[in-house]
Amino acid sequence: MNNEQSARIKALLEKYKQGTCTPQEEQRVEQWLKNLNNDLADSPVNEHAVLKNIRRRVLVQIRAGRDTKVISLIPLLRIAAVLLLIPAAFYLYAALNKQPLQKLSYAAARGERKTLILPDSTEVVLNSSSVLTLSADFNETGRRVSLTGEAYFHVKHNAAKPFIITTGHMQTRVLGTQFNVHAYKNDNDYRVAVVGGRVQVSEAVAGKVKPLAGVLTRNLMITYNVLNHTASVRHTDADQVSAWQNGKLYFDEASVSEMAEALSRKYNIDIKVHDKPGQVCRYTVGFNNQPLNSVLKVLSRLAGFTYQYNKNKIIIDSPNCH
């Protein structure tokens, strides 16, 4: 529950104490208060004992004849609401919002990047055409997220709650570090490059988790092939790999098709590649915020392809590769 939700609940309880609730608000609060005793019986906070003590004292006053009027439970419940104002806020929020906890999803459209601060203070930069989904209980019992696309993570350290990222069958587990995850749906290879700290990458299939390699440290990158379930580790420049978050482009042993997909996402334009079957040429090259046409000119000379604009689409013809 965030600060805004907590403030709304406290304001509602205060209105109830003052007797200024609308009929609908009063009904909601009283219905919750009637069930509060059972809800708090299993709570680690001593609210149950507080309510029990209040009831006991009021009943003693009734038996002693101090007040011959019929005593309603509503004032009693208002007293309980005030005494339990802060610790009961969570329970009231859950009761007034009966829907089950929902997963939170964040998306960056094609052609945009998005920076997120998660509830545990972890910072995430989403690359274009990417979706990050948090588990419903994120930062309560654990820190699990799923990713489609690419993201740069600066994970807040919490040894008691490891940060776990699921991308298909690949699972990345960290305690506190900075790293880049590249895992778009149409890619055959998923990659994790470590900028700092320590990362463990595993394969999770049918509930079984199997490490794909040893612990990865700075400038190590693991490539996991989703088709044959194999993995390899090599050194790379992790700062360059993650430089996309600053608008830069860096291709690390990328094919023409892979470069075209990255250009399509970054510049928000459709690009179609006519490749010669069986071509496996790969290129390593970087660009610093150049316009698309300048990038295409360099790549065409490097990889030996031609290209043309066709309405709102780019057609790349790559019969041979250098």
Distance from the Cα of residue 57 to its chain's centroid: 49
Provide DSSP, 270-321: EEEEEEPTT----EEEEESS--HHHHHHHHHHHHT-EEEEETTEEEEEES--
Residue 72 identity: S
Give 230's strand partners. Answer: 225
pLDDT at 75: 56
Contact 189, 172 (CB under 8 A): no
Pairwise CA distance, residues 138 & 112, whole Å: 25
* Per-residue tokens: 225: 């092939």
Burial 175-192 (b: 16+ CB within 10 A, else e): bbbbbbbbbbeebeebbb
pLDDT at 60: 45
Strand 143-154 and strand 178-183: pairing? antiparallel
pLDDT at 217: 96
Pairwise CA distance, residues 192 & 224, whole Å: 9
pLDDT at 71: 42
Cα 276 to Cα 187, 256, 313, 322: the distances in Å are 19, 11, 20, 12
pLDDT at 9: 74
Pairwise CA distance, residues 248 & 266, whole Å: 10
Which class for 317: exposed (0-12), middle (13-18), buried (19 or more C-beta within 10 A)?
middle
Query: Could you read off the pLDDT tens digit of each residue along the chain, which spans 322 residues?
Result: 556 666 677 777 777 767 777 777 777 777 666 655 555 444 444 545 555 555 554 444 444 444 444 445 555 555 555 545 545 555 555 555 555 667 899 999 999 999 999 999 999 999 999 999 999 999 998 999 999 999 999 999 998 999 999 999 999 999 889 999 999 998 999 999 999 999 999 999 888 999 999 999 999 999 999 999 999 999 999 999 999 999 999 999 999 999 999 999 999 999 999 987 767 789 999 999 999 999 999 999 999 999 999 988 999 998 777 6
Pairwise CA distance, residues 322 & 216, whole Å: 33
pLDDT at 70: 42
As a dihedral over the C-alpha atoms of residue 274, residue 276, residue 277, residue 283, rounded to 10 degrees, the angle is -90
Pairwise CA distance, residues 252 & 15, whole Å: 61
CB neighbours of 30 closer than 8 A, spacing ≥ 6? 74, 77
pLDDT at 44: 45
Question: DSSP label at 244?
Answer: G
pLDDT at 69: 43
Pairwise CA distance, residues 14 & 122, whole Å: 34
Pairwise CA distance, residues 60 & 67, whole Å: 11
pLDDT at 67: 44
Domains and CATH numbers, the chain: 3-96 (no CATH), 104-241 (2.60.120.1440), 248-318 (3.55.50.30)
Other beta carbons within 10 angstroms of residue 322's beta carbon come to 9
Q: Quote the Cα angle for 140-213-139, to 5°.
A: 5
pTM: 0.69
pLDDT at 221: 97
Q: Which residue has the tokens 């990222």?
A: 165
Contact 61, 75 (CB under 8 A): no
pLDDT at 247: 92
pLDDT at 57: 47
